Structures are given as C-alpha cells and as structure tokens.
C-alpha cells in the first residue's frame, strides 16, 4: 500500500496547478460496511503527525493567572480570560466567528464549567471542546504537540477528510503521515484498513488521485 500512496502523493502534486500559496495535502477515505447510526461505530481521535502538518495551526487558550502569561509568551493566536468568556456568552455571533477561526482550544481545568456554560453550545457541535489542563502545567510542550495534530474521526458519514501535510513536504514525509493516520483505522475499525472502500490524495485546490 505504501508504494501506491507514494505514487498518489507524487501524482497529486504533479496534477495540481501552481498557486500563490502553499497548498495542504489532503487525504479522503471512504469506509465500507459501517453503520454510522450506531454510536460504537463513530469515533474521534487526535493524531500527532510524525512530520507535522506543514501548515500553521491556530490555538486558543482559555485561562487565568499564570497560564495566561505562558500563553501570551508562547504567542498563541487567542487568549480568553473569565471576563472574555462572559462577554462571548452574550454575543453568540462573535463567539461563533471566534470559534470557527481556531483549530484547537486548551482550557484551565477549573474554568471548564464556565467554558461549558458560555461556549459549550458552540464548541460542542464543532468538535472543538477544549483540552482541560491543570493551572500549573508547562504549556509549551502541549502547544508544540497540538501544532502537529489532526483529528481523525467518523461521525455522520462513513468517510474522513483531513490534512496530512503540505505540498512543500517530501513525498516520503507525507506518506509517513498518512501511514500514521491509517494505524488509527486499524485500531478503530473491525477490519482495520481492509475496510477502506477507497482513498484519495489531493492538494487543497487540485484534483483527487486514487491511492486505494
């Protein structure tokens, strides 16, 4: 399968027209014989790609005190304190725009009840509920890991589409990232990757190339 994946990655790059930005490399997987109406067949898992996403990830930190200082020092895209939470709870439109602009949220554990109260109805359906962390955590290692993380899951349809790198990464790096994602399917699906009906590789705006 690895050779097929490598060939598909290379072909997807070759068939993609030049753009004035670095395109992501996406993987699309369709799964056979999976009844997504059954809760046990749905899953959502975070995967750290060994070679990174190749694209910037936007992270928001919801915290107070020392964690806010750490978050600002780390240069995260968004910092939210208790007062901000309350304001967002009053402005649903602003809250939706903010949540849509961030890939991952981290929240101080003792603030999770407030997060649930003010932002839960918006974060939940978008599968962006924050990762709770203790107030005394060293934030930097977690933030670095999140920058290389993607969410692999099946919810309403038996299919998955995720970023597995960027077009300026080597074919081998992208293929290794894809293999890491496939190990999740080996664990989550009854027949593992043998349950894959089809798999395609593409750049953000390029045509799909079949790998399986």
pLDDT category at 1 given cuts 50, 70, 90 is low
Are 2-54+148-210 and 59-146 in the same CATH fold?
Answer: no
Phi, psi (degrees; rounded to nearest 5) at 5? -65, -45
Beta bridge pairs of residue 199: 29
DSSP result, 6-40: HHHHHHHHHHSPP-SSPPEEEEEEEESS--TTSGG
The superfamily (CATH) of domain 2-54+148-210 is Ribosomal protein L1/L10, rRNA-binding domain (3.30.190.20)
For the chain, give every domain's residue range.
2-54+148-210, 59-146
Q: What is the pLDDT of residues 103-156, one digit of tens each?
A: 999 999 999 999 999 999 999 999 899 999 999 999 999 999 999 999 999 989
Q: What is the pLDDT of residues 33-82, one digit of tens each?
A: 999 999 999 999 999 999 999 888 999 999 999 999 999 999 999 999 99
Q: Both tokens of residue 84? A: 């901000």
Strands 24-31 and 196-203: antiparallel
The CATH architecture annotation of domain 59-146 reads 3-Layer(aba) Sandwich (3.40)
């Amino acid at each position: 399968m690895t050779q097929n994946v490598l060939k598909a990655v290379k072909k997807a790059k070759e068939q993609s027209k030049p753009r004035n930005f670095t395109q992501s490399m996406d993987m699309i997987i369709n799964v056979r014989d999976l009844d997504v109406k059954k809760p046990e067949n749905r899953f959502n898992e975070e995967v750290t790609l060994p070679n990174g996403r190749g694209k910037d990830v936007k992270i928001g930190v919801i915290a107070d005190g020392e964690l806010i200082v750490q978050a600002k020092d780390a240069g995260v895209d968004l910092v939210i304190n208790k007062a901000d939470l309350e304001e967002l709870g009053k402005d649903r439109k602003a809250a939706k725009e903010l949540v849509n602009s961030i890939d991952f949220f981290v929240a101080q554990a003792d603030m999770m009840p407030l997060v649930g109260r003010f932002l839960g109805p918006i974060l939940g359906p978008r599968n962006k509920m924050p990762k709770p962390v203790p107030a005394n955590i060293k934030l930097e290692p977690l933030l670095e890991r999140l920058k290389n993380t993607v969410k692999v899951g099946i919810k309403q349809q038996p299919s998955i589409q995720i970023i597995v790198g960027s077009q300026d990464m080597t074919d081998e790096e992208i293929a290794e990232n894809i293999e890491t994602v496939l190990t999740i399917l080996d664990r989550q699906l009854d027949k593992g990757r043998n349950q894959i009906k089809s798999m395609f590789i593409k750049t953000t705006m390029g045509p799909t190339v079949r790998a399986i």
